[in-house]
Amino acid sequence: MSRASLSTVLFAALSLCACNSSSVLDPAAGATASGQQTATQPSSTESAAQPPVTAVQPPARSSRIRLQVAPIVGASVEAAGPLMEELQQRARQRGVTLAGSSGQNATHVLKGYFSVLNEDGAATVIYVWDVYDPAGSRLHRISGQQKAQAVSGAEGWPSVAPDTLRAIADTTMDQLSSWFQASADQG
């Protein structure tokens, strides 16, 4: 592995750890106030040549959920815009109500942390989503990675295909809807 590649990998790892390093390093921080464990989903790998098949989740039972999506950290504006559009579309499909950017009526806040790595003609997007309550307490974590062929040999965010962003939006909203449903069933 070249020095530049190693530096990129280390930077990405440190960036993701900085999302909330104290809770990552503290095993007791994995439990929420109600004693539930936060979930970390395994990584998924998709090929850009095969768009993901989307099974639409049933709408979340609790119509009281209002989700504010905070600005995405680490993604370029060119990547964050289409990703936000995909998230909004998937949220509507799954019955999740989105709150405006002011989030005055939001019951949950979704914050995303992203990094992209390029190696051997592939682009790998590493992502972490944290779900917070309005008081700022982290309730849930979704993490993963999406790997696909890099677009025309580009580096960084320009190498990430739109299908990769769609797959991340699908996976994120599927996991978020499932978590909302499980939370509603317990409450």
pLDDT at residue 152 in the model: 84
- The structural domains of the chain, with segments of one domain joined by +, span 3-186
Place of tokens 């936060």: 38
pTM of the model: 0.69
Chain segment 42-64, per-residue pLDDT in tens: 444 444 344 444 444 444 444 58
Fold type of domain 3-186: Double Stranded RNA Binding Domain (3.30.160)
pLDDT at residue 143 in the model: 98
Share of the chain above pLDDT 90, in %: 54
User: In whole angstroms, what is the distance from residue 142 CA to residue 130 CA?
Assistant: 6
The full 3-state SS of 47-94, as one line of letters, equals CCCCCCCCCCCCCCCCCCCEEEECCCECCCHHHHHHHHHHHHHHHHHC
pLDDT classification of 1: cutoffs 50, 70, 90: low
